[in-house]
């Protein structure tokens, strides 16, 4: 019988990352008087977004950052939101501005993201930062893809020359993920809803990254034996229970390594946000 996959413990890697950030933050404060500051903006009452924002504030407290929350009602206009972002851009003690997505439908996400100063864009969603990532000359990396790179590094897998398949082509995860794997010298394929024979493409992957947003989409017969499988999904199964894009119980019998949901990629997303905010604060302190 084949061995079961090694489960990658995102919580443990995340804790280690946050411990390191806390040490660096204490040093920055002691040596320069600068305390990293993050402003988190949430519009409306999406319950999942509320959980993520609370977790971001908790993480700030854990690593010694200043944080403030701006919770705006769902009827907030685009103009009001952009005005708030512009005010936060001018505040010296705020190193990072995070506008929680998704926004209500009447607000153009792109207009809001472009209003964030690229120097405070700790999500790395602003087009200037996206462009810098393309050419490999960046200050911030987008949090979920950066967290996935850290998880892969944590298991000591060398990406060079490996076949990496990313399922999903969103601006937040799929496209930047593919770019980061390319920078690490993988041979990268991006799959999407129009991909022909998607299972066959997935079976080629040494590293398979599922960011498709469909519960248990990746089945065991789509996975190469021994592959590294990374699950970015935050879905609900038929019983309403949180699950990922990967059929965990079946795929763990085939994969070499597998991230769980919860406890895999999610906690790393927040740790990478802390890392970007610290980077921005160091810049302010001239470090
Ligand atoms: N401005 C942004 N908006 C959104 C982002 C983002 O990176 N920036 N990503 C996602 C949501 N997200 C962060 O904001 C996020 C999602 C999930 C988790 C997480 O830790 N999940 C837990 C489970 C949580 C639960 O019980 O529901 C886990 O996987 O263990 C963190 C961050 C969309 N919006």
- 169: annotated binding-site residue? yes
Q: What is the CATH number of the domain that holds 158?
A: 3.40.50.720
- CA dihedral angle for residue 56, residue 108, residue 281, residue 15, rounded to 10 degrees: 30
Q: Give the domain range for residue 206.
A: 144-266
Based on the fold, state whether residues 245 and 166 are members of the same structural domain: yes
Based on the fold, state whether residues 156 and 111 are members of the same structural domain: no
Q: Tell me whether residue 253 is in a domain.
A: yes
Q: Cα-flanking dihedrals φ and ψ of residue 240, to 5°? A: 80, 10
Based on the fold, state whether residues 69 and 153 are members of the same structural domain: no
Distance 52 CA to ligand 1 centre (A): 5
Determine the atom of ligand 1 nearest the C-alpha atom of 10: 30
**Among 187, 175, 165, which residue's Cα sits nearest to residue 246?**
165
Q: Tell me whether residue 255 is in a domain.
A: yes
Based on the fold, state whether residues 191 and 227 are members of the same structural domain: yes
Q: Tell me whether residue 252 is in a domain.
A: yes
- Domain stops at, among 117, 152, 185: 117
As a whole number, the mean pLDDT across the chain is 97
Q: Tell me whether residue 278 is in a domain.
A: no
Based on the fold, state whether residues 75 and 153 are members of the same structural domain: no
Based on the fold, state whether residues 39 and 108 are members of the same structural domain: yes
- pLDDT reported for residue 6: 98
> Which amino acids are annotated catalytic?
56, 100, 123
- 37: annotated binding-site residue? no
- 168: annotated binding-site residue? yes
Return the residue whose CA atom lies nearest to atom 20 of ligand 1: 266
Q: Tell me whether residue 11 is in a domain.
A: no
Judge whether residue 1 has pLDDT over 60. Answer: no
Based on the fold, state whether residues 149 and 248 are members of the same structural domain: yes
- pLDDT reported for residue 162: 98
CB 218 within 8 A of CB 243: no
Mean pLDDT value of segment 113-134: 97
Return the residue whose CA atom lies nearest to atom 11 of ligand 1: 52
Q: Tell me whether residue 18 is in a domain.
A: no
Based on the fold, state whether residues 72 and 177 are members of the same structural domain: no
Based on the fold, state whether residues 179 and 240 are members of the same structural domain: yes
| 31-67 residue pLDDT tens | 999 999 999 999 999 999 999 999 999 999 999 999 9
- pLDDT reported for residue 3: 80
Residue 80 CB contacts under 8 Å (≥ 6 apart), including other chains: 72
Return the residue whose CA atom lies nearest to atom 24 of ligand 1: 262
Q: What is the CATH number of the domain that holds 55?
A: 3.40.50.10860
Say which residue the tokens 């501005």 belong to: 97
Judge whether residue 125 has pLDDT over 70. Answer: yes
Ligand 1 site: residues with CB under 6 angstroms? Answer: 51-52, 55, 98-101, 123, 143-144, 234, 242, 261-263, 266-267, 269-270
Based on the fold, state whether residues 99 and 209 are members of the same structural domain: no
Q: Tell me whether residue 150 is in a domain.
A: yes
- pLDDT reported for residue 152: 98
| 197-253 residue pLDDT tens | 999 999 999 999 999 999 999 999 999 999 999 999 999 999 999 999 999 999 999
- pLDDT reported for residue 2: 64
Q: Tell me whether residue 4 is in a domain.
A: no
Return the residue whose CA atom lies nearest to atom 10 of ligand 1: 101
Distance 14 CA to ligand 1 centre (A): 13
CB atoms within 10 A of CB 224: 19
State the complex-level ipTM. 0.97
Query: Structurally, how many domains does the chain consist of?
Result: 2
Residues 273 and 231: their CA atoms lie apart, in Å, by 19
Distance 266 CA to ligand 1 centre (A): 5
- pLDDT reported for residue 64: 98
pTM > 0.80: yes
Q: Which of 52, 146, 211 to mutate to test the pocket of ligand 1 (most atoms within 8 A of CB)?
A: 52
Based on the fold, state whether residues 165 and 246 are members of the same structural domain: yes
Based on the fold, state whether residues 94 and 159 are members of the same structural domain: no
DSSP per residue, 75-137: T--HHHHHHHHHHHHH-TT--EEEE-SSPPTTS-HHHHHHHS-GGG-TT--SHHHHHHHHTT-
CB 229 within 8 A of CB 218: yes
| Cα–Cα distance list, 136 to 5, 132, 142, 166, 180 (Å) | 32, 6, 13, 19, 9
């Amino acid at each position: 019988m084949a061995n079961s996959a090694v489960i990658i413990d995102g919580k443990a890697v995340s804790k280690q990352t946050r411990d390191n950030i806390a040490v660096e933050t204490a040093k920055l404060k002691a040596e320069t008087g600068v305390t990293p500051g993050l402003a988190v903006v949430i519009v409306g009452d999406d319950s999942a977004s509320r959980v993520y924002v609370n977790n971001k504030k908790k993480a700030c407290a854990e690593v010694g950052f200043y944080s403030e929350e701006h919770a705006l009602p769902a009827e907030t206009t685009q103009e009001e939101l952009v005005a708030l972002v512009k005010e936060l851009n001018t505040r010296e003690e705020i190193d990072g501005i995070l506008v929680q997505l998704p926004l209500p439908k009447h607000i153009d996400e792109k207009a809001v993201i472009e209003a964030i100063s690229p120097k405070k864009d700790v999500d790395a969603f602003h087009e200037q930062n996206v462009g810098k990532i393309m050419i490999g000359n960046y200050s911030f990396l987008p949090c979920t893809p950066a967290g996935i790179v850290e998880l892969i590094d944590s298991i000591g897998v060398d990406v060079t020359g490996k076949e990496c398949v990313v399922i999903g082509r969103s601006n937040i995860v799929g496209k930047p993920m593919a770019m980061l794997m390319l920078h690490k010298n993988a041979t990268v394929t991006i799959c999407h809803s129009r991909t022909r024979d998607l299972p066959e493409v997935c079976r080629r992957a040494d590293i398979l990254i599922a960011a498709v947003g469909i519960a248990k989409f990746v089945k065991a017969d789509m996975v190469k034996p021994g592959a590294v499988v990374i699950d970015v999904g935050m879905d609900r199964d038929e019983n309403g229970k949180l699950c990922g894009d990967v059929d965990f119980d079946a795929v763990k019998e085939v994969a070499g390594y597998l991230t769980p949901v919860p406890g895999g990629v999610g906690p790393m997303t927040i740790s990478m946000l802390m890392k970007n905010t610290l980077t921005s604060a160091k810049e302010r302190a001239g470090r």
